[in-house]
A and B are shown apart, each in its own frame.
Chain A
Amino acid sequence: MPVQDRTNEFMACVDSIISRSSIPSRRDAKQKLLQNGKSTTKSEFSRMASGIGKDISSTNIKLGKLSQLAKRKTLFDDRPVEISELTFIIKQDLASLNKQIATLQAYVKQKKANGSKLEDGKQIDEHNKNVVTLLQSKLADTSVAFQEVLEVRTQNMKESKDRTEQFMYTTSSAASQPPSSSVLFNPRGDPMGDGSPSRYDSKRHKNGDMLALNLEAAEEGSGSQNGGAFMQMQMIEQQDSYIQSRSTAIESIESTIAELGQIFMQLANMVAEQGETVQRIDADSHDIAANVSGAQRELLKYYASISSNRWLMLKIFGVLIVCFLVFILVS
């Protein structure tokens, strides 16, 4: 949720409560006390701290705007100029906030070294240290949110790039995919948001302009430690680096191999189906062979019976002719 500025409401509430309360005289005394009590050095500290707090809240508001912009998933209405400008501004703010907190902490240390009053002094020191820790933790939260927003932005950019590739996909581009993937040299706002807890000079040396995102938790130094957690952040924007292009090339090889596996499986399926068909043909041809041989047997029998019948037929004809002759001789 973006940071909202409700100071006016708060002041209105305070005014209404004051007007309702019945201790006006105490208020004057309190005011006098307030004016006399704080020394100049203390108010200096609170001034610095409040300044830093204001900056942090304004940075948070900007970050909210950036996250809204980054969440948009449209293909064409992307506004990279605005986003990169805003990113740059937020980066600068974070760096300056970092420096301010550093000076504040140095100031606190120096004040402590200068010797402080006994009882009040210790409490004041504690309070100062706690305030510094609070500011550091707020800054840490802001930077973590910034990092997440940049990651979301990378994701969306990658998705939109895939979708544009889908719409403009042709077979020729498919054939030339491997070499073109390594020539993708567009400077993209790709954050390398890995948040690795390393020191200030651990830049990853991959390509020309890259800044490192380092996040050292302020929560490590529990406020009572001295130099404890000095939080530093540098955001990385990186072009398509050599190693990334290598990994994309290898990923494309891997996907090609997976496709080949798919193709082989399809091939095996088709051959198995066709094997069944072959079995049917085989059974049919067996039937044909059986039928034809049976028919041949019948025909042979027929032929045998016919040829054997001839003798009988001759005999029958002979008997008929004899009867015929007998009839003619009688008549």
Chain B
Amino acid sequence: MVKIYSISVVLAPPSESCTVLATASDLSQYSFYQKGSVAEFMSFFSRTVVDRTPQGQRQSVQENNYTAHAYNRGGAEQLAAVIITDKDYPVRPAFSLLTKVLDEFIAKIPQSSFLNPSSISFPEIQIYVSKYQDPAQADTIMRVQQELDETKIVLHKTIESVLERGEKLENLVDRSNALSAQSKMFYKTAKKQNDCCVVM
């Protein structure tokens, strides 16, 4: 069962420690009392992984049931994004999701407010968490692949029905052949009747 637990955007200057700029999580499966500690674990995990990821690199770290995929983009803004999922989440859409989140973040939030994390409001990150719970639908490439597979199945069914149609048509051909022969005999007999028995 693929699941996203949290997504975070982190400011990661290369030499100093990193600060979390925006984060969103889906901890609905934990009980109320566990949520606090799980959230802390998530943020600690994210920060640690980002600290250890050099600039411009992607990395995946697994810890018990949780896998963190981190992408340290570096660049002028020195941003990095982390996504924490379970083991089954496919890797490639995770990284493309991170790239998307970072691009949107950079487009929306000016660099000046990086120093003031509490002033940053980035609600789209929560939308991403909920939308990408099912990567097969949300990720473009996977969705295209899925639709193509469905189309292929439909086409297979179509070909089967066309084969059946072919069989039925063969049947029809044979029957119409037989009927044509019989009607010919009918015609000849009728004609013979006229020629042979001319009565007066």
B96 near A246: Cβ-Cβ < 8 Å: yes
- Minimum distance in angstroms from B66 CB to a CB of chain A: 16
Nearest chain A residue, comparing its CB with the CB of B55: A205
Give the number of residues in A that approach B within 8 Å (Cβ atoms): 53
Q: Mark B151-195, 1 if CB is under 8 A from A, else 0.
A: 110011011001101100110110011011001101101110110
Binds B, one of A77-85, A97-105, A179-187, A213-221: A179-187
B-facing residues in A76-113 (Cβ within 8 Å): none
Tell me which residues across on chain A come within 8 A of B142, comparing CB atoms: 178-179, 249
A301 near B187: Cβ-Cβ < 8 Å: no
A205 near B136: Cβ-Cβ < 8 Å: no
B95 near A295: Cβ-Cβ < 8 Å: no
- Chain B CB within 10 Å, residue with most, of A207, A242, A264, A277: A242
User: In the docked arrangement, what's the CA distance between A298 and B148, Å?
Assistant: 62
A206 near B194: Cβ-Cβ < 8 Å: no
Nearest chain B residue, comparing its CB with the CB of A179: B90
Q: A277-B166, A277-B173, A285-B176 are in contact. Are A242 and B183 (CB under 8 A)?
A: no
A295 near B186: Cβ-Cβ < 8 Å: yes
A292 near B183: Cβ-Cβ < 8 Å: yes
Tell me which residues across on chain B come within 8 A of A294, comparing CB atoms: 187, 190-191
Q: List 8 A-B contacts (CB under 8 A).
A: A178-B141, A182-B93, A257-B148, A260-B152, A274-B162, A277-B170, A302-B193, A309-B200
Identify the A interface with B (CB < 8 A). 175, 178-179, 182-183, 185, 205-208, 241-242, 245-246, 249-250, 252-253, 256-257, 259-260, 263-264, 266-267, 270-271, 273-274, 277-278, 280-281, 284-285, 287-288, 291-292, 294-296, 298-299, 301-302, 305-306, 309, 312-313, 316
Identify the B interface with A (CB < 8 A). 54-60, 90-93, 95-96, 135-136, 141-142, 144-146, 148-149, 151-152, 155-156, 158-159, 162-163, 165-166, 169-170, 172-173, 176-177, 179-180, 183-184, 186-187, 189-191, 193-194, 198-200
